[in-house]
């Protein structure tokens, strides 16, 4: 068996492209909703950033006297804090998973 035959079998399987013993075809980079993982992650970070900016604007408005309802300011601050904490936990889990994958022996 030559290297070219092995590469063909690896790509399409011993009996052809529909052979279940062949390696699975790579999936597209998009998820089930048509959004790639990187794009979804970018949108999540932008959402957290927007929540932080909205909370900062509410605090500034409250200090300057434009906003009188302290409850709305506190709610915006808590929403920004929770979204940041969630983003941090997701990042930590992703790093742990990556490190675990790197420790695996092939």
Distance of CA 93 to the CA centre of its chain: 11
How many domains are there within the chain?
A: 1
Q: What domain range is 99 assigned to?
A: 35-106
Q: 37 and 31 in contact (C-beta within 8 Å)?
A: yes
Given a cut of 70, whether residue 23 has pLDDT beyond it is no
18 occurs within a structural domain: no
Could you tell me which of 35, 8, 29, 10 has the C-alpha nearest to residue 21?
10
* Residue 96 in domain: yes
Query: What does the pLDDT read at residue 25?
Result: 58
Quote the pLDDT of residue 35.
79
Where does residue 80 rank: exposed (0-12), middle (13-18), buried (19+ CB within 10 A)? buried
Tell me the percentage of the chain whose pLDDT exceeds 90. 57
- For residues 67-92, average pLDDT: 94
| In a domain? residue 87 | yes
Cite the DSSP H helix spans in 27-69. 37-64
Assess if residue 104 is contained within a domain: yes
Does some domain include residue 51?
Answer: yes
């Amino acid at each position: 068996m030559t290297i070219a035959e092995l590469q063909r079998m690896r790509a399409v399987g011993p009996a052809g492209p529909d052979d279940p013993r062949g390696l699975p075809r790579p999936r597209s980079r998009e998820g089930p909703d048509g959004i790639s993982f990187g794009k979804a992650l970018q949108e999540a970070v932008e959402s957290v950033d927007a929540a932080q900016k909205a909370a900062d604007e509410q605090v500034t408005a409250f200090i300057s006297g434009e906003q009188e309802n302290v409850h709305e300011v506190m709610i915006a601050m808590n929403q920004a804090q929770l979204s940041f904490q969630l983003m941090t936990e997701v990042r930590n889990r992703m790093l742990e998973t990556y490190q675990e994958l790197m420790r695996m022996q092939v």
